Amino acid sequence: MNINTCKYIFSPVVALCLFSALVSAQEIWYVSGSTVNLRKNPTTDEDNVIAKLKKNDPITVINHRDAWTKCKTEEGLIGWMITSLITKQEPFEITLKNIKKKNTAEVISLKNEHSKLERNFAQLKEKHDKLTYNYNQLNDTYERLKEDRLKNIVFIFTVSFIISCLLLYSILTIIKKLKEKEFERIKKEEKEKKEKEEEQKNIKMEKEKEEKEEELERMKLMEKEKEKKEEEKRKKQMEKEKVIEKIKDIVKKKKIGTDITKKISKESIKLID
């Protein structure tokens, strides 16, 4: 490490230490004489005075040199004063003034705190009154609900029971209607079936009746034909008998032989047939 590097490193440190020492050396002192001159240089020359300070004026001590002290006023003037005319001890008047100022500040702070507490108390009281009012309302509502609880339970139970009964009645009505519709359907089907059977039976009976009528008509026709044949046969028989009678009459009148008569009769019958 060279000298320049050390210089760059230690220079800020040294400056910081000097500044700290200077700040720590600057203390607040007070003027103890009635009127004390602030001088430009640490000499008693008349033309060296730059300001006059009154008793108890505060100054900031920069450093001391023999019987002189370098200091700075509140206005920012820097000069020299005789060390015996200033004191480090705070004057009673300033102490009392600071105490009064501090007490006044504390009183004002306490008054402000008291006002703030009063406002907070008023707000809390207002909130308390509001909460008390709300609590009373809620308590009244709770008591009223508590009184009406049994009525509400009875009412709800009654309504539920009525609704259940209505639902049950509706279900039973629907079931009854469905059964009636089913019964009507079955009855209608049975009726249609019965009508169909009756119709088939009537058709069958009509058919049988027609067949019987046809059979009867056929039998009548056969009977008529039979009667007609018998009538014809009877007529033929009568004609035969007439022919035979005529032949007999002829035979009696002309006295023809029996064999010839029979022969003539047979021939006549053949002709008639």
Task: Read off the pLDDT of residues 144-191 as tens digits, 9 standing for 90 and up.
Answer: 888 888 787 888 889 899 999 999 999 999 998 898 888 888 988 888
Q: What pLDDT is stored for residue 195 in this prediction?
A: 87
User: Cα dist. 87→84, 241, 252 in Å?
Assistant: 7, 210, 226
Query: In which band, very low, low, confident or very high, does the pLDDT at 76 lie, cut at 50, 70 and 90?
Result: very high
Domains belonging to the chain, first-starting first, are 3-90 (2.30.30.40)
Instruction: Please determine, for residue 258, whether its predicted confidence score (pLDDT) is greater than 50.
Output: yes
Q: What is the pLDDT of residues 200-243, one digit of tens each?
A: 888 888 888 888 888 888 888 888 888 888 888 888 888 888 87
State the average pLDDT for the chain.
Answer: 81
Instruction: Please determine, for residue 15, whether its predicted confidence score (pLDDT) is greater than 60.
Output: no
Q: How many CB atoms lie within 10 A of CB 4?
A: 8
- Rounded CA separation 3/235 (Å): 191
The answer to whether the CB of 79 falls within 8 A of the CB of 40 is yes
Q: What pLDDT is stored for residue 69 in this prediction?
A: 94
Most confident of 82-86, 146-150, 244-248, 256-260: 82-86
The answer to whether the CB of 61 falls within 8 A of the CB of 82 is no
Using DSSP bridges, classify how beta strands 27-31 and 35-39 pair: parallel, antiparallel or unpaired: unpaired
The answer to whether the CB of 81 falls within 8 A of the CB of 36 is yes
Q: What is the pLDDT of residues 95-114, one digit of tens each?
A: 888 788 888 888 888 888 88
The answer to whether the CB of 29 falls within 8 A of the CB of 73 is no
Q: What is the mean pLDDT of residues 68-85?
A: 93
